[in-house]
A and B are shown apart, each in its own frame.
Chain A
Amino acid sequence: MNPEEIKNLFDRRLGRYQAAIALEPVDRMPIACGSNYFAEVYSGNDHQTTVYNQEKWLEAEKIFIRDFPEVDVLRDNRIYAPLFDVVNCRTYRMPGRDLEANTWFQFVEKENMKADEYDLLIENPTAFMLERYLPRVLGDFAEPGSHRAQVALLKGGMAFAQMGQVMRNRGLTLEKECGMPQPTAGFFLAPFDVIADAFRGLNGVVMDMFRKPDKLRAACDALVDEMVNMALVTADPLKRYPIFVPTHKPMFLSPSQFEEFYWPSFKKTILTLLDAGHNVRAYLEGDWSKHWHHIKELPKGRVVCDIDDQADILKALDDIGGHQCLAGGVLSSMLILEKPKAVKERVKLLCEAAGKDKHLLINGGCNIPHDTKAENYRAMLDAICEFGIYDPSLKPMPKTPPKPVNDVGPRMLTSWEERVDEWGGIRGEESLIRQPWELFEKLAYVWIWSWVS
């Protein structure tokens, strides 16, 4: 393909994905999975290679795109193990390091914040990160100020910058060589999940809901601006792709707990990002059926919702379909254990249930598992191309992002004004100095917060 053909292909794929998100007519249902673990290993890489060898990523993606050209978006790898190794972060177990080389990376949930530390978290979240959380989760930062800790910060920063460069190049290569957009760019967590996943653990946060509800609510509120900042700094500056948020703990909460502790700060975070002109893609992990009516409180056609295996996608289509674009419907056990015929029948049923009006992205429950059978994935794509055709005459084009209605500046540890004050003023052109200075300050700030995920 020549560059113009590649650009047309990119526009057609992205336009189709964006139209579905906006609940507008499409030529066919987009094939738009978020976390495609299957794509990472389809080329034959084992799991250790996938998390340790950046050079293999693009190779694997190109092979996948060659064999499954119907796919409309393909995400990047999320985990690069050396980012964790350089600071001796132990929140993940890594294939080849602490697990068998061909096992997945796995998150280890621990209590990294004590029940009596809420006041510091509420008062100054970043001080809490630097003084309490990071020394507990980054082994080489256990004694801040030690030689190891100083070098760990240096290595951590360098690895973070290098990873950013690799991701940028990879995104550009996929766009310019393969015409392939991404399902999401940028990342944040619901404030409650920051506390539950990273700080207190599920057990701790459940006890806190009963024992110190006021503190927990206040802490969730205090984390809204931090999560908004992390999302905006890591998002696609061109706003082509929704920002990704995996939700983890609602499946454990009663509707009243969800309404009291989870939803208010999560909703506020999402609304701020939408006001900034971005869309959001949320994984509703586990069974959200008791909570998902709240999704209707968000503006229509701005938040893609992935429905997990444990929830009923048909009920989701009934309850919130047509208000947001939904994704999911093919169980993990089906992709891994069943035959192509069963997959085809499932896709047909889903296409009929969704119709043209309730936009659906047929997908696994929040992901395509590593161990998906290739023939089942192929059957899923073929069936979507057979039963998910709506109006072949349509050619949706990429959209211009909505104008932001708010202007959220990046958060920093030391503001530019404070720095200039310390210097006693600037003699030449201020913007020449300010811009790069703020860029690094902003990235360092996000690096601190990146450890909650």
Chain B
Amino acid sequence: MSVLVFLDQADGHIKKSSFEAASYAAKVAELTGTTAEAIVLGIVNDDLATLGNYGIKTVHTVAEAALNNMDAQVFTNILSQAVENTSADVIVFSNNTTAKAIAPRLSVKLKAGLVSGAVALPDTSNGFTVKKTVFSGKAFAHIAVSTAKKIIALNPNSYTIVPASGSAAIAPFAATIGTAKVEVVSVNKVTGEVPLSEADIVVSGGRGLKGPENWGLVTELADLLGAATACSRPVADIHWRPHHEHVGQTGLAIAPNLYIAIGISGAIQHLAGVNRSKVIVVINKDPEAPFFKAADYGIVGDAFEVMPKIIDAVKKLKGVA
């Protein structure tokens, strides 16, 4: 028995959300009286022994350059071999686009019930039940998994990392890799930006900002705070900002520690994508904006007057001239 966590990597580095998934896997292992192991595919430059600090005992590696790009079929086949090799009965992913491509396939291959979008540890008091978001963040469901093997895809920023001590053993895994049926023609990565799904702080703008030329108010604050930038649906629809920044019911659902909404009224569809944020700040000149009902802090005021003062105050706080 073991709990196996899939570590997602990009450009040779383990993704931040995978450390959260690793710590979660270690806790699941503790709850079920077993050990947590990890697997990473592709060439990784990080010191994998440090996964011990997240409670991982062994990191299995398949260091093949062919695995630097994810192919859902190839990855599923390798993971199913790793599940067999480690006798894993719980498999943990961080619920990102990689996991969404692989976990459903693995669920079928292993006949393992999948909970996608988990936000809490499993409840093992009566069977095996995992809490997940449903209705695009407007509610939660407790999903009972009835199969012997279980797969949990944990939403990013849902679990607080528990520091552990130790050094993880590194175990090269001789997997049969197989051939990808999908050919990757090109990869175009946005570099230098904080990925939205993993960001601790998100600064977001809506139609209240009146035009893309005013986005400096959003990006300057985001840069100061090391935050990702986001936008409301109308803003993406009229191409003021790229589609991948759209948060809400039909865009990305996020759960940062801090969400700052500037000039966004807070329609129910937008709230659905952001209401799991720990602290919500709303800046809007309309005191009747529905977003204030969902906010923790707010300023009723004109963003064009308020934002420069906020940016100055943050600069002062951060000691930036």
A and B form one complex: no
A interface with B by C-beta (< 8 Å): none
B interface with A by C-beta (< 8 Å): none
